[in-house]
Amino acid sequence: MQQFKRVLALAVLIVTLSGSVLLAQQPPSAISGAQKLMAVPASKYPGRVFVLPATLETTQWGWFDNAELPRLVIDSGDTVVVETMSHSHGRLWPGATIEELKKLRTDWPGRGPMSLTGPIFVNGAEPGDILRIKIQKIVPRSWAANFNIPGMFGEFPKDFPEGQVKYFYLDADRKVAEFAPGIEIPLRPFPGTLGVARAEPGRYNAVPPGPFAGNLDNRDLVEGTTLHVPVFVRGALVWTGDSHAAQGNGEINLTALETAFQEIVLTITVDKTTRLQWPRIETPSEWITMGFDEDLTKALANARSETAKLLAEQRNVSAEQAAALVSKTSDCRVTQVVDIKKGVHCINSKDQGKTLAAQLPTAETAEYLVTYAANGDMNKAMDTASWNMIELLQKQKSLSRLDAYSLASMTMDCRVGEMDAPEKGVHCVVPKSLWVKR
């Protein structure tokens, strides 16, 4: 009975806030109450502008469900100023211990740690459409965290049975976070999770990404970029959370520079002319395609397949010709290897005469610490290259094992080389510019 009362109370609150699903089917002018109060005057952004705060009523902890009632209803072309919450419904804050953070995972199995604001119902969005979500602005909070849950997650859980959490001040003026005296991480905030409801009914762990986008952990999805994502249910249902101030390609200890956003401003538009099976990211000058799988070798193959589709469309060439172009034109990177489904994304110039493929370093350069490994199994190549970087940071920069793991997770950039060779290369680099003179 108590559970029934709690669910009923939440349903009443949501209906008041969103105008209910039935009202969502009517023109926005018919929606009253809290919905109208969420509309604000802000002529600098397209469409009507709404504010969606992060509260216990407007967020979910670690799961998606396409039956979830909308917290906001908008029209195509409207803009939403979204606030996000830190992990585990705000239970990650400076002072929370690693033991407390571990308990939040062990006591709540089957869900991810991220707090997700939404969903946002978009009038006119139907299955088969594409939703364009443009990130207009991001303002993080003043602090962030990076942590290793002992022996449970990350690329090397068995090798790190000890845990650690570190908290950082985000210097908005200088756009850096001080990792330690003399080590500064440049801030490049982005939403770790941004996407729509999946097609399958029921409640799903929000950790693995998919064709619905979700937990992409793609550090190139920054302010000024647009996520193009297929729609699977009526209204699309948009969520965002898992807010990051910076992240390495790989995110090897499972966490980035984890924060929450005071605001992430999203302009959301329905596209009924384009057809996509997997999400893409658009920057002013580039397209970014993505591939996912529990096996990194297959994730690379999927990313190459999606890239070939893009090149075939862009250059009006055959599928075979486009497939042969991928390794010659694309900069492919290991997005992450810790979210159940691993990811690879490939960056491609909009300028058809320009290639982003480059000769990647296999040894230290003037700008980078470098580790490299090649293997027919991409998983093994990634493991070797990233483990070697952890050891290099300990030896050359005198970092502890856990600090080396942490810094690599937030700053290391692992890229794919030798894509056409039997043994695929993984080149991991850490900028020497992180170490600053005072």
In order, the DSSP letters of 204-244 are EESSS-BTTEES---TT--TT-EEEEE--STTEEEEEEEEE
Computed on alpha carbons and rounded to an integer, the radius of gyration of the chain in Å comes to 21
C-alpha span between 189 and 258 (Å, rounded): 10
Token pair listed for 36? 């109208």
C-alpha span between 268 and 119 (Å, rounded): 13
Sign of the C-alpha dihedral computed for residues 144, 169, 227 and 310 taken in this order: negative
Torsion angle of C-alpha atoms 372, 374, 380, 384, degrees rounded to 10: -20
What pLDDT is stored for residue 29 in this prediction? 38
C-alpha span between 240 and 115 (Å, rounded): 8
C-alpha span between 179 and 402 (Å, rounded): 13
Q: How far is CA 175 from CA 17, 223, 258, in A?
A: 36, 14, 15
What pLDDT is stored for residue 142 in this prediction? 98
CB atoms within 10 A of CB 34: 16
Mean pLDDT by 10 residues, the chain (438 residues): 41 41 38 78 97 98 97 97 98 98 95 97 98 98 97 96 97 98 98 98 98 98 98 98 98 98 98 97 98 98 98 95 97 98 98 95 98 97 98 98 98 96 96 93
Could you give the angle at the alpha carbon of 426 between the alpha carbons of 425 and 430, nearest 5°? 145
- Is residue 247 within 8 A of residue 230, CB to CB? The reply is no
- Is residue 66 within 8 A of residue 38, CB to CB? The reply is no
C-alpha span between 320 and 343 (Å, rounded): 24
3-state SS assignment for residue 304? helix
C-alpha span between 260 and 82 (Å, rounded): 11
C-alpha span between 10 and 58 (Å, rounded): 10
What pLDDT is stored for residue 35 in this prediction? 82
C-alpha span between 191 and 262 (Å, rounded): 12
Place of tokens 């211990």: 97
What pLDDT is stored for residue 36 in this prediction? 85
Place of tokens 């493991």: 383
Token pair listed for 224? 């000024």
- Is residue 76 within 8 A of residue 106, CB to CB? The reply is no
What pLDDT is stored for residue 146 in this prediction? 98
Q: Spell out the long-range contacts of 375-378 with Cβ–Cβ below 8 A and sequence spacing 24 or more.
A: 375/423, 375/424, 376/297, 376/422, 376/423, 376/424, 377/297, 378/295, 378/296, 378/297, 378/299, 378/300, 378/416, 378/424, 378/426
Name the burial class of residue 301, with classes exposed (0-12), middle (13-18) and buried (19+) by CB atoms within 10 angstroms of its CB: middle
Token pair listed for 100? 């407390």
Q: How far is CA 366 from CA 177, 360, 361, in A?
A: 23, 14, 11
What pLDDT is stored for residue 34 in this prediction? 77
